[in-house]
Amino acid sequence: METQKRRPWRRWVVLALMIVGFVVGGMTYFAPVQPEITFAAERLVEEPLFTLPVIGPFYLVNTIPPLIFTVLLVLVLAFYTNRSMKKSAQTDLVPRGIGNLMEAFFELLYNMTEGATGAKWAPVIFPWFATIMFYVLFANLLKLIPGFESIGILRQVAQGHPVTGGILQPGEVPNGYVLVPFLRGVSIDLNFTLAIALISVFMTQVIGIQTQGFGYFSKFFNVRNMFKVPFFGAMDFLVGLLEIISEISKIISFAFRLFGNMFAGLVLVAIVSSLLGKISILPSMILLFELFVGVIQAFVFGMLTMVFMAQATQGHGHEEEHEETHVEPAEAHAL
């Protein structure tokens, strides 16, 4: 049997793209300009769009267009998924295309939720877990599209990187310019990660109240044994105060974990690109690593949300054990 000879044409495509990038990068009008790396999102316009009474002026920053864009893409994806599922329901009940992909993805997430929380509370926790994880994953992957954080406007500042290419010609830069990208990854904005963290922690408390009633707050203000067994009651009360600190620390941990990892990817790509100049293959490999980090961070964020919500549905059985432990010696002494 004659074996078919493999023709590795893909490697020639990669080599051709590397050569094109090297040539274009050396041209004056297409020379790359190093962007300014800042923690805060950059303003695209100097004038505020509007001013709110308490919050203050609201500026158009370069993370707002991607935020709107991600919401619109998710809505479009949901529309076509719904249409695909309805079409399969009317024919042979076999989902195809985008409907099959979304069904497999969310079915995997639901099975994970049911395995961790049980069949009773899985329908309550799953919508929050799946929504947060899917949207964070979508936002992390969207920033890998070419043009994000690399195409923008040149803004003159007192101190900046000298521009030797782009729109301006050499010798026309008196003080320096910085590149303000039109689009910046949403996950690199601390406001976005903080908002998602607040939603996650707040809904964890809501689910805790739904499952345990107002007795859920005994986790934070435990005064049941304060007068029965003063010493252990005081210890339980102090542990409850530590639980309040723990809930607040979850917000900080959620927000800065996602922000820190995604911001580190931006800095890493910028540093490698500046060190290698016109050689573009290694920054592309760094982008693959950033793809891996984006997927992992979305999974970690969603899984922690699910675990904390599952813990909120659990009763405080250890407190009843403490009560029995404290009462038994007293009863033995009375006997």
The residues spanned by each domain of the chain are: 22-44+60-316
pLDDT of residue 79: 92
Closest Cα partner for 163 from 28, 255, 52, 50? 28
In this prediction the pTM is 0.75
157 membership: H or E segment, kind and range: strand 152-161
C-alpha distances out from residue 321 to 183, 239, 243, Å: 55, 16, 19
pLDDT under 50: residue ranges of the chain: 1, 28, 161-174, 317-335
pLDDT of residue 199: 93
Radius of gyration of the chain (CA): 27
CA atoms of 35 and 274, how far apart (whole Å):
10
pLDDT of residue 279: 58
Q: Is the dihedral of CA 308, 313, 317, 319 positive or negative?
A: positive
pLDDT of residue 236: 72
Q: Are 326 and 225 in contact (CB under 8 A)?
A: yes
Q: Report the SS3 class of residue 215.
A: helix
